């Protein structure tokens, strides 16, 4: 049975702070807060990434492709996926601005 649960392993905090530790320096280096429309683009990118990840979870967990310690569908997973989208956007834009000209 697949269920959403509110308790999770503390390792998720480590993973979350790793995302923040990657996102924040790139965000500051790129001066993303000064760019018009940047927050909106990040938000849209994060929402799309979130939907893709939730879709994968929706297929993977019921098909027994993977399971999480303590139960499936920890709430922190969704937060992790959303902020993973913010981090992915910053990495993409950093590479786009520096390497692709």
* Percentage above 90 pLDDT, the chain: 18
Inter-residue contact 85 to 48 (CB < 8 Å): yes
The CB-side HSE value for 80 (13 A sphere, CA atoms) comes to 18
41: left (phi over 0), alpha (psi -120 to 50) or beta: alpha
Q: For the whole model, what pTM was predicted?
A: 0.75
pLDDT tens across 37-53, in order?
888 998 999 999 999 98
Name the pLDDT band for 22 (thresholds 50, 70, 90): very high
pLDDT tens across 65-101, in order?
877 766 666 777 888 888 889 899 999 989 988 887 6
């Amino acid at each position: 049975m697949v269920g959403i649960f509110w308790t999770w392993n503390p390792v998720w905090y480590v993973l979350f702070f790793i995302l923040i530790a990657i996102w924040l320096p790139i965000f500051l280096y790129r001066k993303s807060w000064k760019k018009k429309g940047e927050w909106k683009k990040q938000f849209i990118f994060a929402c799309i990434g979130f939907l893709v990840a939730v879709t994968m979870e929706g297929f993977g967990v019921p098909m027994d492709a993977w399971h999480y310690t303590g139960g499936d569908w920890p709430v922190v997973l969704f937060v992790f996926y959303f902020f993973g989208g913010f981090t992915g956007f910053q990495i993409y834009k950093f590479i786009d601005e520096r390497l692709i000209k």
